[in-house]
């Protein structure tokens, strides 16, 4: 689903005893493929902000320094790309979306994530609240590499990984669910790997 892809060597079955962690139609990889629909944006920290808007109206914004001061968590999760690779036990550090929305003091049933580089993806608010999603800025004990979405990306591990928007800069809360970048090209509006919601109609 992307013009840029590498690291697909060594797609295998899950290691013994861990088969149950592989959703249907997925393969196990120890690598960490990079999937980006365009060039890697590089926003310097002093220009970076993260914003929550509602219906496009400004609600709350954090500078990089302010964002680093928010309570952060270490997260270890399996991730599943719709191109069929899954990676187990990935270790991240980030701020819970619950924390961000609580500080912003807003609520709505749907969210559109906006990124540097014009990528978007749609999510139900219920899929990114209740301890299910983070804005992650760390990976593997260090900063998040630019090709993997640094300085910060959305992490929504229970949905296919295209919902985990790299270089995320804004969450817009909205009343209606509208398709983002890949969803416009026929990918599923929800994207649950356990229900194999790859394409519209799945």
Ligand X SMILES: Nc1nc2c(c(=O)[nH]1)N[C@H]1C(S)=C(S)[C@@H](COP(=O)(O)O)O[C@H]1N2
Residue 162 binds Mo ion (CB under 5 A): yes
Q: Least distance (Å) from ligand X to the CB of residue 16? A: 25
Residue 67 engages Mo ion in binding (rule: CB under 5 A): no
Q: Which residue of the chain is nearest ligand X when measured via CB?
A: 119
User: Residue 176's Cα: distance from chain center in Å?
Assistant: 20
Q: Which helix (H) or strand (E) holds 121?
A: strand 120-124
Helix, strand, coil percentages, rounded to 5, for the chain: 20, 35, 45
Instruction: Return phi, psi of residue 109, to 5°.
Output: -75, -25
Residue 156 engages Mo ion in binding (rule: CB under 5 A): no
> Between residues 45 and 69, which has the closer beta carbon with respect to ligand X?
45
Does the N-terminal peptide bond of residue 151 adopt cis geometry, omega within 30 degrees of 0? yes
Positive or negative, the CA dihedral 102, 104, 105, 110 is negative
Write the interaction track for Mo ion spanning residues 86-125; mark x where CB under 5 A is met and - where it is not: ----------------------------------------
Applying CB under 6 A, what is the total number of residues that bind ligand X?
20
Q: Which stretch binds Mo ion (CB under 5 A): 9-17, 45-53, 73-81, 134-142?
A: 73-81
Contacting range for ligand X; rule: CB under 6 A; set: 11-19, 100-108, 125-133, 160-168? 160-168
Residue 75 is a binding residue for ligand X (CB under 6 A): no
115: contact with ligand X by CB under 6 A: yes
| Cβ-contact 165, 121 below 8 angstroms | yes
Secondary structure of residue 69 in the 3-state scheme: coil
28: helix, coil or strand?
Answer: strand
Q: Choosing among ligand X, Mo ion, none, which partner's interface includes residue 149 (Cβ < 5 to 8 Å by kind)?
A: ligand X
CB of 157 to Mo ion, least distance (A): 13
What is the CB-side half-sphere exposure of residue 100 using CA atoms within 13 A?
34
Site residues, ligand X (CB under 6 A): 1-2, 32-37, 81, 115, 117, 119, 148-149, 161-162, 164-167
């Amino acid at each position: 689903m992307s013009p840029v892809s590498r690291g697909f060597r060594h797609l295998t079955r899950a290691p013994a005893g861990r088969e149950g962690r592989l959703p249907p139609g997925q393969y196990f990889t120890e690598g960490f493929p990079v999937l980006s629909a365009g060039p890697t944006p590089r926003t310097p920290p002093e220009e970076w902000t993260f914003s929550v808007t509602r219906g496009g109206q400004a609600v709350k914004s954090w500078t990089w320094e302010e964002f680093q001061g928010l309570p952060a968590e270490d997260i270890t999760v399996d991730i599943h790309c719709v191109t069929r690779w899954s990676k187990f036990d990935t270790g991240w550090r980030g701020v819970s979306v619950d924390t961000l929305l609580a500080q912003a003091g807003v609520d709505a049933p749907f969210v559109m994530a906006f990124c540097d580089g014009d990528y978007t993806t749609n999510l139900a608010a219920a899929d990114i609240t209740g301890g299910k999603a983070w804005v992650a800025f760390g990976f593997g004990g260090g900063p998040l590499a630019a090709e993997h979405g640094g300085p910060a990306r959305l992490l929504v591990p229970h949905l296919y990984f295209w919902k985990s928007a790299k270089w995320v800069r804004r969450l817009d809360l909205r009343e209606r669910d509208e398709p983002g970048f890949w969803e416009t090209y026929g990918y599923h509006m929800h994207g649950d790997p356990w229900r194999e919601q790859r394409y519209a109609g799945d």
